[in-house]
Amino acid sequence: MRDILLQIAQVLTVLVLAPLLQGIILQFEERVQRGQGPGIFQPYRDLWKLFHKQVAVPETASWLFWVTPIVAFTCVLTVPILIPVLTNYPLPLSDMGDILGGGLILTLASFMIILAGLDTSSAYSGIGSSRAVMVAILAEPTLILVFVGITLLAKAMLPFVVNHLLVADWAVYMSPAHLFLVAAFFILLLVETDRMPIHSSTHIEVYMIEEGRILEYSGPLLALLKWASAMKQFILYVIFCNVLILPWALSIQGTAEGALGAAIGLLIKFTLVACAVVFVETAQSRLRFYRYQEPLAASFLLAVLAIVGTQLS
């Protein structure tokens, strides 16, 4: 019974704290750029406002337009069952899939959003969807290579095994293969959370990618997509922190105190990673859109080096 409650707690942690992480990152960005910026709880207020607005549906939209937000939200909400959010041991439903299965579920959510952008027949939504596909052509193979590198490093695809290995063996943690995997996944983290050094998260049609795909959505449907995007970011941070770079401070015995401490530890870890993300995003000069492949190519090379490193060690 306790493990089932912990399973529910993991899902609720992602559901509730995901907008807070988004607010922290936006606040950091404004502070670095010497601005005031919104409060860290602004994403919650935005979601509340969207849920109380009416839905406007394009005349050209089909049933896919309605189904996509629900499917995307459900897919993202499924992944916390499979990964170590609060505990360092598998919970009752954690054996339904491995780390690759979680990646495929997140990809399904993105695929549905791309289809919905094309379904509206809007020029801007079509541009956003096509650009998202261009980025995914390079990002998805790199993500698979990173997962292959993790598998070869830990001899398992389960994220809990990777977590235990890195905690128990400091030599593996400091090995070149692991460091290459961390660097490759960090670049993917920037790409998948729309933090590339291009203006891809704005409403300027020349640059927008993520905003372009959901430009035709409004009201509760837009709120679901925004919330799903925040949860996807939270999940990627969980994988990066609890599996790869900071695998400590998780509940070992599954007590309520341990779960609460793990949740607090998550916020501390995420704050550190968010500082690094904001620093990299702000310190880099903005790239032209056609140079988006440069950071992805670097990530692909690092993943290949990680795989080579696992075979040589």
CB 33 within 8 A of CB 205: no
Task: Return d(Cα 122, Cα 120) in angstroms, integer.
Answer: 5
Q: Tell me the residue range of the domain where 268 lies.
A: 2-312
Task: Return d(Cα 212, Cα 215) in angstroms, integer.
Answer: 5
Quickly tell me which residue has 């995420």 as its tokens.
Answer: 270
288 Ramachandran zone, left/alpha/beta (phi>0; psi -120 to 50): beta
In sequence order, what are the residues at sequence separation of 6 or more whose Cβ sits closer than 8 angstroms to the Cβ of residue 228?
69, 72, 73, 75, 76, 109
What 3-state class would DSSP assign to 251?
strand
**Identity of residue 86:** L
CB 229 within 8 A of CB 217: no
Q: The pTM is what?
A: 0.90
Question: From first to last of its 313 residues, what are the pLDDT tens digits of the chain?
Answer: 788 888 899 999 999 999 999 998 888 877 777 777 778 899 999 999 999 999 888 888 888 889 999 999 999 999 998 888 998 888 888 777 777 788 888 888 888 988 888 888 777 777 878 888 888 888 888 888 888 888 888 888 888 888 888 888 888 889 888 999 999 999 888 888 877 766 445 555 555 777 778 888 889 999 999 999 999 999 999 999 999 998 888 988 888 888 888 999 998 999 999 888 888 777 765 655 666 677 888 888 999 999 998 887 6
Task: Return d(Cα 256, Cα 310) in angstroms, integer.
Answer: 38
The pLDDT score that the predictor gives to residue 69 is 93
The pLDDT score that the predictor gives to residue 241 is 92
**Identity of residue 18:** A
Number of domains in the chain: 1
Task: Return d(Cα 66, Cα 52) in angstroms, integer.
Answer: 17
